[in-house]
Amino acid sequence: MRLLKKKATTFDMQVQDMVLRVTAPEDYYEEARAAAMQFWEKLHAYAAQNPKFRTSKRPIAVPDEAPEIVRHMAEASAMAGVGPVFTFQGAVTDHVGRYLARSLPEVTVSSGGDYFVVAKRRTKLAVTYGFEGEGLSIVVDPRLGPLGVYTTLGRRQLPAESVDGLVVVASSCTLADATAAAMLAILSKPDSLGTALSHLKSIEGVLGGLVIQGGNIGVAGGVELAA
């Protein structure tokens, strides 16, 4: 039992080919990394035995005896209409964030544009870069509980030539990643902004989203924007 309240700091953790950035008291580093590695190994072991789970871009069914996280990934991706291959990074980010949230009232875990956030007060999360250093942020409302956010900010390259920026806010990073993949597929077609936003609103557990295409900005759901 920790009797002293430690101040939160930000530290990086290497988990195979992923880098997780964690905002939490530093003395949680070792157990957070151990939890992440244990989770990754379980996920990798299942994918090694069932390669389709790692590669499928279309929804697939998994057996009832599959690990809980595998079932969650399959369910989330199926709700969005895509395969579980798009949800691996979000699932690892989720797992570490939820593990820490069992002991901490406030925590942020991010990896390459995925964010798991539990906040005690309203706070801003930058989601797009802008010209001359100005960009857009979303407001994280603590009343919504743990949130998973997908954003193009922090990714090595934009995921599609047809999209300049994309944000999805959901109940988990796993669901946010799956929804983003579905939206990118829709947005690759001409005049598809409205269709993509309608699809986002139809997915249970997705709170809202933002799409930037050139001079057009589309917003759906309960996403609160801030400069």
The pLDDT score that the predictor gives to residue 4 is 42
Length in residues, the chain:
227
Q: Which alpha helices (DSSP H) does the chain contain, by range?
A: 29-49, 51-55, 68-80, 88-101, 173-187, 193-201
Angle at 99 between CA 95 and CA 102, to 5 degrees: 140
Residues 2-43: pLDDT tens digits?
434 467 789 999 988 889 999 999 899 998 999 999 999 999
Share of the chain above pLDDT 70, in %: 90
Closest CA to 85 of 55, 60, 112: 55
Cα–Cα distances in angstroms (integers) from residue 77 to residues 81, 102, 189, in the given order: 6, 25, 21
- Sheet architecture: strand order including 225-226: 123-128, 136-140, 225-226
- pTM summary value: 0.90
Mean pLDDT over 157-172 rounds to 78
pLDDT digits (tens, 9 = 90+) for 90-129: 999 999 999 999 999 999 999 988 999 999 899 888 877 6
pLDDT higher than threshold 60 for residue 59: yes
Give the span between the Cα atoms of 177 and 202, in whole angstroms. 15
pLDDT at residue 125, as a whole number: 85
Q: Which amino acid is at 31?
A: E
Mean pLDDT, all residues of the chain = 88
Q: Which of 2-6, 130-134, 209-213 has the highest mean pLDDT?
A: 209-213
Instruction: Return the minimum-mean-pLDDT range out of 156-160, 191-195, 214-218, 220-224.
Output: 156-160
Residue 173 CB contacts under 8 Å (≥ 6 apart), including other chains = 89, 90, 91, 93, 94, 97, 114, 115, 116, 148, 149, 150
Place 155 in a pLDDT band, splitting at 50, 70 and 90. Answer: low
For 3, phi then psi, to 5°, come to -90, -25
